Chain A
Amino acid sequence: MTEHLSLSDKVRMVLTGRQPDAISLKTAISCELAERIAGVIVPSGRSDLLGVGLCAVPTTVLIGLPFGAVPLAIKLLELQTWPHEEIRSLGIAVDPIALAESGGEGKICHEVLSAQSQLVNPGAAIGLVTELAQVDSAGLEILCSIAQRCHLDFLMSSGGVVRAPSLSHDDVREIRDILPGHTELWVVGAIPDRAFCIDLLAHGADQVGMVPEVDGARAESWQEVLFA
């Protein structure tokens, strides 16, 4: 039965990588596909896509890519380069060194609150982005604590910039169990097919982000991926 399930409200297109078919993806954004996905995830430096119809799609803007090791002042400057009314949600890449260091939790909370205070749209969701498959259990506990303290709306498992190890459905279940209920789990990248996508959702992922470069999903095949 799930084979005929529409995933349109669960799948986001991630445009953070080096897609070889970026031009066709731009075309896809500007056509009917945009109306049939949950949203698009872009790095802050791609506001050029607003000119090809991105504003018609719920947009998540990521700052601090690729791996979060960017000073807070620069991350906040990235935020200023986007028209804030176009930001439906904001993802902040976490510095892995900060995550592993003493006092890192406070530093990351400060980043979240600083970014939050600058968002013009008070309804914009806010979340953290990290290569979750490579975070150890201590780091995961800190992320969950930050999610609680800062009332994060989502935790995203990869920025999608480079190929990263994927989360298994067991990983997803484990993370979902310890993540606060109000924090959605967005699993991004290394999703080979529709069946895997459905499996992740069944095990607790709230959203799935597909990276065209990583997942091999070219623009013309998105319809099949989403609506088999």
Chain B
Amino acid sequence: MSAPVKLNVNGLPVEVPAGASVAAAVAQLTLQFRRSVSAEQRAPLCGMGVCFECRVQVNGVTHVRACMTPVSEGMQVITDA
């Protein structure tokens, strides 16, 4: 397995194995991925890109499904929590 990947979640450094998803990286720090329409905290439900509960901002792009996105070195992830 290749070297772990370092990235930032809400400005804080996180390290995960190569090939991990952004969802896995966020979960190292928090289970608050997004706020629902009525301001409830939400986290991934389905793990496979169907439920859209895992949407976060990745490198400036919003509404990215974290469970479908592999991490990359230096990635900036911001949750909506």
Q: Is the pairing of A and B real?
A: no
